[in-house]
A and B are shown apart, each in its own frame.
Chain A
Amino acid sequence: MTVLEVLTYPDARLKRVADPVERFDAALRGFVADLVRTMAAGPAAVGIAAPQVGRLQRLVIVDVSTRPRAAGHGRLVLINPEITAWEGHAVGREGCLSVPDYTGNVIRAECIRLSARDEHGGSVDYEMEGFEARVVQHEMDHLDGLLFLDRLVSRRSDLFARRDRGKGS
């Protein structure tokens, strides 16, 4: 297993759209292991996406189990992930391994339903909310060449209004 180099903005590769994974083979699983190792090697990351190490494939890893307040599903390997349902919106603070020394507020869906493949090609489905849902949305943005910088909202955003909007609608 290898710790891979994490690209940092403004590396142009972070702004490209990644391709779907087609081969679920040993090479892919080796890459997943490297990505897990890379995520663990740096600061206390809760997710990483393949494009962050220069591999333009639709693959992310999410693991919020290190955050005591965050309910989650443990370590998730999500390949070709698709969000199939959203509900609610909330403002939350985000930073990124690829954008050192900056955090800012971003609006994300509060609850999501998600379909993906695991590293063996099997179908997986999840429902998640709160912090874990936010991390998944942050990582999936990397697959479309988007950074949280592209979604920053003003620090003066009205948290009450944002949070209420969309609930039950």
Chain B
Amino acid sequence: MRDWHMLTLVGVDRPGIVARVTDTLYRVGCNLGEASMLRLGGNFTISMMVEHAGGAHSLAERLEPVARALDLHLHVDPIRGALHRHVVPDVRVRVHGADRPGIVARVTGALAEAGLDITDLESDVAGTGERPVYVLQIEGVAQRGIDSLRAALERLGDGVETSLEPVDTVLG
């Protein structure tokens, strides 16, 4: 029986990592599911669903040589979950402002309390070293409606620029 695992790899970015890792996975008979690779602070990061017969330990063993060759931290967990479980977001929130401690916690805390189920979050620090600017983009499902989220953002007050818009998805 083949089970899904979550494989995460982190390390210094360089060209060709995805190709070498996925080639190894193919050669040992794994099936790939959903995956997301991001470059964060110059680091390569990837999380990928990998279907494999033989358990997490055996999967990690098979990947260990390529991870070592590419100097990547490797982590494998068995997961519950499957393909075809997409949730379509119905709201997008953007936040930006001068970078300061606690901003993500404040914003996401207020939104969670107002019923937001986050499906996708990207946060980044732009600007310069002296004047860092914080940028946050969130998509999610407004479980208690968009007005509830709008009110929560308004209560955040000064110093944080927020905007919110419904996401209407075409189906055609």
Contacts and interface: CB of A to CB of B under 8 A. Distances in A.
B155 interface: no
B161 to A, nearest CB: 11
Nearest to B96: A160
B172 A96 contact: yes
A134 B170 CA distance: 8
Interface in A19-68: 43-49, 62, 67
A93 B122 contact: no
B94 interface: yes
A150 interface: no
Given A155-B120, A156-B122, A159-B94, A131 B84 contact: no
A92 interface: yes
A51 B165 CA distance: 33
B130 interface: no
Contacts, number: 62
Contacts of B171: 43-47, 94-97
A103 B169 contact: yes
Contacts of B167: 92-93
Interface residues of A, number: 30
Nearest to B137: A159
B55 interface: no
Given A101-B84, A103-B86, A69 B170 contact: no
Given A95-B88, A103-B88, A156-B122, A46 B172 contact: yes
Interface string B109-122: 00000000000101
Given A95-B88, A101-B84, A103-B86, A131 B172 contact: no
B86 A139 contact: no
Contact of A47 (B84, B92, B170): B170
A102 B87 CA distance: 9
Interface in A84-108: 92-97, 101-103
Given A101-B84, A101-B86, A103-B86, A69 B168 contact: yes
20 contacts: A43-B171, A44-B171, A46-B171, A47-B171, A69-B166, A92-B167, A92-B169, A92-B170, A93-B88, A93-B169, A94-B171, A94-B172, A95-B88, A95-B169, A97-B171, A102-B86, A103-B86, A135-B170, A138-B172, A155-B120
